[in-house]
Amino acid sequence: MQIKHLAPFTLAALMITSALAHNMKFTVGNAGGMKASQVFTFDSDADFENFTGLTHKVTGSINFDPKTGNGGGRIVVDIASIDTGIALRNEHLRSDMWFNAEKFPQAVFEATSVKRKGGDKYEITGKLTVHGVTKTIKTEAAAKYIKENEATRKAMFVGDVINLKTSFKVKLADFGVMIPGPAKGKVAETITVKLNVFGYTG
């Protein structure tokens, strides 16, 4: 009798396990000798000039089911390594006047919902944490899944590969980052964040 009652639960558990088994885990980082580099940028389009902050120090993991398009993940960006092309500006950016890299060394994006929009296009909702402030954001992304083959091996990837690209706007004040007076007109109040990362299953 007890076994009879448990049967549906066992079946459900098996189905869930089976569904989870399709979710592949991709590691994002520069390990494994892979030749492609992770790229995180933010673009500032101000009156005086445009500039880009850039770092290759992007790590994390992506869970992704190539068949259903379901997934999630966590991407971590090292704030202190962001380079804007001018050493003094980098110092200002890391300082407590701006991103306070000592206190908040990482920017983190955690995907909470992924919806396939068609083809390689996805709608991702997640929590972005910058400067100790967390906000929910929604963005569009392109995710290209490449099963392990000769080309992935030549590019020094280990296992299957996923290439994730996304771009979204961030209003600095929303994350408690205020532009100091002397920098007004030189730094945009809203920056465009872009991510182009590769993950591999290993």
Partner 1 sequence: MKNLKLFGGIAVGLGLIGLSGSVIVPARLMSQTQLVQRMIPYNAETATLTGDVGTPVGEPQQMIITEEAAFLPGKSEFGANLVNDNYLKEKGIYPLQVKTVNFIAGPVRLGAGIAIVVGIGILLWVNGPLRRKVVGG
Q: Which residues bind partner 1 (CB under 8 A)?
A: 35-37, 39, 41, 43, 45, 47-52, 54, 83, 85-86, 144, 146, 151-152, 154-157, 161, 163, 196
One-letter amino acid for residue 145 of the chain: Y
Minimum CB separation of residue 88 from partner 1 in Å reads 12
Minimum CB separation of residue 164 from partner 1 in Å reads 12
Q: Which of 25, 29, 142 is nearest to 75 (CA)?
A: 29
Segment (H or E) for 103: none
Of 32 and 85, nearer to partner 1 (C-beta) is 85
- 103 contacts 123 by C-beta, under 8 angstroms: no
Of 127 and 189, nearer to partner 1 (C-beta) is 189
Minimum CB separation of residue 83 from partner 1 in Å reads 8
- Residue reference for tokens 């000592």: 102
E-only strand ranges, 56-154: 58-64, 71-78, 106-118, 121-130, 133-146
Of 85 and 176, nearer to partner 1 (C-beta) is 85
Instruction: Report how far Cα 86 is from the mean position of its chain's Cα atoms.
Output: 25
Of 102 and 140, nearer to partner 1 (C-beta) is 140
